[in-house]
């Protein structure tokens, strides 16, 4: 069971079962027919290691199991979330500050410890940083209704050192009272130029067969003049089936305000959920804002995955380039030999989706890399672009540790008159040193240095924050 499958299941049973579900689930059952593994082509530095069980058995105040994409401020500090740990074992938010001149050690500060009550618990992947230094994010559970929250974490006021958390929105999913705005936001947020926030919930909205809902897309608008409350608007409620279901990744926005995203399930194809039901292999969609005098956003499916060579179960934030081409990853599918323990499901892909040519309507999907296991498997984050190349992480595969600990990779575009992208493995993770199960997207600085998190492993077992110099 992967983190996302676990989150979807937890929408039903509300327990947090095994804190090591990522390690157990996301890198299981790689195929046995390995290619010759590639050596590391980049230099990895572990910036910080989280601890699950410190000496003496005292609570782990810093948290552990870092999840998702790091935010980076102009001074080079990194901000992120731990899914678990902290005083109440409900997760933490942290800042990792670069070393002062002449020093080498980065310094970790805990900005907020979740209590598991009204402030939320189990913080989701990825934080948004605004110009004032405030952080915005989501928790999958907790809040007044136990369906998750959107929060703001404000920097310390003058003469204080405490960051202040404010819940901007509590999600509600209660059909007895007709409230269905979503449940279980499992991804980070994006912010537009006006300060409005956009995100997705994995459940809630229109009910599915178990009553948990197919998921929603929402907008949270800043308070109007003289007001204090943020205003939530549900932009779309998924209907399941061919329409898609279970959006679990952050959105992407273009200059016209169109929102691009994916659903883990729905569409077409034989992919199954954690209960074994065939639910489709995922979709890629766009939501177009209302026209003048209108109020309804229009959803269009740009591509439905089949789960075969084209990939299945898309995960991670989409990347949109200047031409409008979209790049992303799928957790399964492709030509690789990875299995789920019963059948071959593929090791995942990196794809691009090209807009229609003039006079046409269909977008074109092209798989630019199909993982084979030794070069990575099961990506749980999207790709970023730096220096014309794509960079990303696969949560399993590679040659580090047991061979299932994950990789950081680079995809170089085809040379002139060529068509094939070239993958280079920059780092193979090893569970006892650099970590295991890298997740989310990478962050990059002006020199091209890459930053990310591994959910587990490291010398202290609680996950790592790392840097890669390509």
**Strand boundaries in 114-224, DSSP class E:** 121-123, 128-129, 135-141, 149-154, 164-170, 173-174, 179-180, 190-191, 197-201, 216-221
* CA gap 184, 14 in Å, rounded: 10
Q: What is the pTM of this model?
A: 0.92
Closest by CA position to 35, among listed 341, 350, 398 = 398
Domain that holds residue 306: 3-469
What's 6's DSSP letter?
H
Q: How far is CA 444 from CA 90, 240, 385, 435, in A?
A: 29, 36, 9, 19
Domains identified in the chain, total number: 1
Q: What is the mean pLDDT of each run of 10 residues along the chain (470 residues)?
A: 44 32 37 50 95 68 94 97 94 96 94 96 92 97 95 92 96 73 96 97 88 93 92 96 97 97 97 88 98 94 98 98 97 95 94 94 97 97 97 94 89 92 97 96 97 95 96
Residues in contact with 355: Cβ distance below 8 Å, sequence separation at least 6, in sequence order: 323, 324, 325, 363
Assess contact for 393 and 406: CB atoms under 8 A: yes
Burial of 176 (0-12, 13-18, 19+ CB in 10 A): exposed
pLDDT in tens, 70-118: 999 999 999 999 999 999 999 999 999 999 999 999 999 999 999 999 9
Q: Give the up-direction half-sphere exposure of residue 418: CA atoms within 13 A in the CB hemisphere.
A: 9
Read off the CATH number of the domain in which 37 is found.
2.130.10.10
């Amino acid at each position: 069971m992967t983190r996302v499958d676990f989150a979807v299941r937890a929408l039903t049973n509300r327990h947090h079962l095994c804190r090591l579900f990522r390690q157990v689930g996301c890198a299981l059952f790689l195929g046995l027919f390995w290619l010759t593994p590639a050596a590391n082509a980049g230099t990895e530095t572990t910036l910080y290691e989280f601890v699950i069980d410190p000496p003496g058995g005292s609570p782990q105040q810093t948290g552990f199991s870092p999840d998702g994409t790091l935010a980076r401020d102009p001074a080079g500090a990194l901000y992120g979330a731990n899914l678990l740990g902290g005083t109440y074992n409900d997760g933490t938010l942290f800042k990792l500050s670069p070393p002062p001149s002449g020093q080498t050690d980065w310094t970790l500060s805990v900005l907020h410890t979740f209590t598991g009550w009204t402030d939320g618990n189990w913080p989701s992947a990825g934080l948004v940083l605004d110009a004032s230094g405030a952080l915005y994010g989501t928790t999958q559970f907790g809040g007044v209704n136990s369906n998750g929250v959107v929060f703001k974490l404000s920097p310390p006021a003058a003469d204080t050192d405490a960051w202040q958390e404010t819940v901007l929105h509590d999600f509600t999913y209660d059909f007895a009272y007709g409230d269905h705005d979503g449940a279980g936001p499992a991804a980070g947020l994006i912010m537009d130029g006006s300060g409005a926030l956009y995100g997705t919930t994995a459940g809630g909205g229109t009910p599915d067969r178990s009553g948990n809902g197919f998921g929603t897309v929402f907008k949270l608008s800043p308070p109007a003049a003289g007001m204090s409350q943020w205003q939530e608007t549900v932009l779309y409620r998924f209907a399941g089936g061919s329409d898609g279901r279970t959006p679990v990744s952050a959105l992407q926005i273009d200059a016209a305000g169109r929102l691009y995203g994916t659903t883990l399930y729905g569409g077409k194809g034989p992919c199954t959920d954690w209960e074994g039901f065939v639910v489709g292999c995922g979709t890629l969609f766009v939501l177009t804002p209302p026209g003048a005098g209108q109020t309804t956003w229009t959803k269009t499916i740009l591509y439905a995955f089949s789960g075969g060579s084209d990939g299945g179960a898309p995960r991670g934030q989409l990347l949109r380039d200047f031409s409008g081409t979209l790049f992303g990853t799928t957790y399964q599918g492709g030509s690789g030999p990875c299995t789920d323990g019963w059948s071959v499901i593929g090791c995942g892909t990196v794809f691009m989706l090209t807009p229609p040519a003039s006079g046409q309507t269909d977008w074109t999907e092209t798989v630019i890399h199909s993982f084979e296991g030794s070069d990575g498997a099961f990506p749980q984050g999207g790709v970023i672009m730096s220096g014309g190349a794509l960079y990303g992480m696969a949560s399993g595969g590679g040659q580090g540790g047991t061979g299932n600990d994950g990789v950081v990779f680079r995809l170089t575009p085809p040379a002139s008159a060529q068509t094939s992208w070239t993958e280079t493995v920059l780092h193979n993770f090893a569970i006892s040193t650099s970590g295991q199960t890298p997740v989310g997207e990478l962050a990059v600085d002006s020199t091209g240095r890459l930053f990310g998190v591994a959910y587990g492993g490291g010398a202290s077992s609680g996950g790592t924050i790392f840097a890669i110099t390509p």
